Amino acid sequence: MSEPPDPSARLELREVRGEARLTLELEGEVDLASAALLADALTSIDASPLKTVILDLSALTFIDSTGLRAILTGRNHCVEQGAEFQLIPGPPQVQRLFSLVGLLDVLDFSASQ
């Protein structure tokens, strides 16, 4: 009998490090099943030596409110350590959620791909 699939496998995380910068690339879905994986990745970042932490949402296919909460928690963690937190926008279906909850003007979507 095979094991049931890991629900967090719907989310792939990749770290790309540059000089004083860390980009976390997300691919797949951030939902109730996978948001803890994202939250853990963001809150485990030692942002103190970094100037900027970038969250790349361009390859996300879905995000729900638990994903938003993970992003906000991660943002707060990075900012408390003195790092700027930027996002690369996701596709329209992802950006729509940020718009609906009024976060487009709160979060820094100025990072480019």
The domain limits of the chain are: 13-100
Q: Is 27 a residue whose pLDDT tops 70? A: yes
User: Tokens 């279906």 sit at which residue?
Assistant: 93
pLDDT at 113: 59
Q: What strands, in cross-sheet order, belong to the sheet with 84-88?
A: 11-18, 21-30, 52-63, 84-88
pLDDT at 68: 96
pLDDT at 100: 95
CATH architecture of 13-100: 2-Layer Sandwich (3.30)
Tokens representing 21?
Answer: 């910068």
Q: Is 30 a residue whose pLDDT tops 90? A: yes
At residue 51, what is the residue type?
K
pLDDT at 2: 47
pLDDT in tens, 32-63: 999 999 999 999 998 888 899 999 999 999 99
pLDDT (mean) for 85-91: 96
pLDDT at 19: 87
